[in-house]
Amino acid sequence: MHLIAYLHIALTARLAELRRDGERGDSPVPTAVIIFGLVAVAMAVTGLALAKANDWMNAIPGNTQPGK
């Protein structure tokens, strides 16, 4: 019975402490939006770099793709 009482008091104290601490950080939604934006920018930069590299390689006279 003492163990149950101790666990009840410990849980009650911890919940009261969590309620008292008002600043718990930012919600995960803005963080997810920022990550989505960074991924979109990274994909755009990668696509642009790939297009520029392909244009540069195609400008080389006598260029053939490997394996063909």
Distance of alpha carbon 10 from alpha carbon 17, whole angstroms? 11
Quote the pTM value: 0.52
Query: What are the tens digits of pLDDT across the range 12-68?
Result: 988 888 777 666 677 788 889 999 999 999 999 999 999 999 999 888 888 777 765
Q: Note the pLDDT of residue 18.
A: 77
The answer to whether the beta carbons of residues 63 and 57 sit under 8 Å apart is yes
Q: Note the pLDDT of residue 49.
A: 97
Q: Note the pLDDT of residue 39.
A: 97
Q: Note the pLDDT of residue 21.
A: 66
